[in-house]
């Protein structure tokens, strides 16, 4: 089955700096890659996703890049703010199975 | 448009009791998924259902766990004879017919004493 690895497990940045979180996946058939933000005590919130027919997608301060050949994808957050502090999860799924396989999460802390 | 609803938000059970977790998907969504999250870990897929059908239960333990999504009413995740290892946050997600996007509820935090 699919295996998703996520790095780093913790990341601290100064407010205003950029943050990058990376994930690799094992199943070359996977074609959908969402990113979720989870705040303490809450459910995961979908923040951005990308499909395998594009290499990059951007939404304001958040961008995701996908390298299908290398089987990795990354989340980029620019101009970080304290409210960006949360746990971020990457995930992957294949067309024939709608279940998501999640990475282990990255605790992002934005220092004021 | 209300999001995914889950209740209860917190549930405490003693070993051997039954736990029932409920999930109402977003309006217009006919696909429901259940995930389990252990402390300090990512979410693990348990089961995928459509109305009245279990599509994929490959992530659900074979014993004590069951799920349903009846024609009317919420989806139910049922855990019989709970053990301490069942303590976790259980999340439900829903998606519309044609898209992969899954939207999560706030979760039910189960504590087994």
Q: How far is B12 from chain A (nearest CA, A)?
A: 16
Closest CA to A25 of A99, A107, A94: A94
pLDDT band at B55 (very low <50, low <70, confident <90, very high): very high
pLDDT digits (tens, 9 = 90+) for A32-83: 999 999 999 899 999 999 998 778 999 999 999 999 999 999 999 999 999 9
Contacts of B43 in chain A (CB under 8 A): 44, 89, 100, 102
Using a pLDDT cut of 70, give the percent of chain B over it.
97
pLDDT digits (tens, 9 = 90+) for B80-99: 999 999 999 999 999 987 67
Strand partners, A91: A102
Closest CA to B7 of B87, B105, B94: B105
Q: Exposure of B25 by Cβ count < 10 A (0-12 exposed, 13-18 middle, 19+ buried)?
A: buried
Does A97 sit within 8 Å of B100, measured CB to CB?
no
HSE of B53 in the Cβ direction (CA atoms, 13 Å)?
6
pLDDT band at B57 (very low <50, low <70, confident <90, very high): very high
pLDDT of residue B98: 62
pLDDT of residue B40: 78
Say whether pLDDT at B74 is over 80: yes
pLDDT of residue A98: 80
pLDDT of residue B39: 83
Q: Is A73 on the interface with B (CB under 8 A)?
A: no
Contacts of B41 in chain A (CB under 8 A): 104-105
Q: What is the mean pLDDT of chain A?
A: 94
Q: What is the mean pLDDT of chain B?
A: 93
pLDDT band at B1 (very low <50, low <70, confident <90, very high): low
Which chain B residue has its CA at the smallest distance from A103's CA? B42
A104 → closest Cβ in B41, B101, B103: B41
Does A97 sit within 8 Å of B91, measured CB to CB?
no
pLDDT band at A95 (very low <50, low <70, confident <90, very high): confident
Question: CA angle, corner A62, sides to A54 and B45, nearest 5?
Answer: 70
Does B48 sit within 8 Å of A98, measured CB to CB?
yes
């Amino acid at each position: 089955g699919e295996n998703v690895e996520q790095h780093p497990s913790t990341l601290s940045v100064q407010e205003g700096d950029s943050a990058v979180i990376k994930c690799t996946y094992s199943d070359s058939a996977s074609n959908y890659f969402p990113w979720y933000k989870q705040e303490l005590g809450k459910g995961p919130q979908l923040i951005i996703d990308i499909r395998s027919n594009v290499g990059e997608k951007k939404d304001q301060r958040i961008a995701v890049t996908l390298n299908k050949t290398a089987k990795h994808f990354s989340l980029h957050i620019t101009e970080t703010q304290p409210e960006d502090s949360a746990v971020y999860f990457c995930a992957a799924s294949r067309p024939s199975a709608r279940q998501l396989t999640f990475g282990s999460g990255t605790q992002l802390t934005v220092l004021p | 448009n209300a999001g995914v609803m889950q209740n209860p938000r917190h549930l405490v059970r003693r070993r051997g009791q039954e736990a029932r977790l409920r999930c109402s998907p977003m309006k217009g969504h006919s696909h429901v998924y259940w995930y389990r999250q252990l402390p300090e870990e990512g979410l693990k897929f348990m089961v995928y259902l459509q109305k009245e059908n279990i599509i994929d239960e490959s992530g659900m333990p074979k014993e004590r766990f069951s799920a349903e999504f009846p024609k009317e009413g919420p989806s139910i995740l049922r855990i019989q004879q709970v053990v301490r290892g069942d303590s976790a946050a259980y999340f439900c997600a829903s998606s519309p017919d044609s898209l992969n996007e899954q939207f999560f509820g706030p979760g039910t935090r189960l504590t087994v004493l």
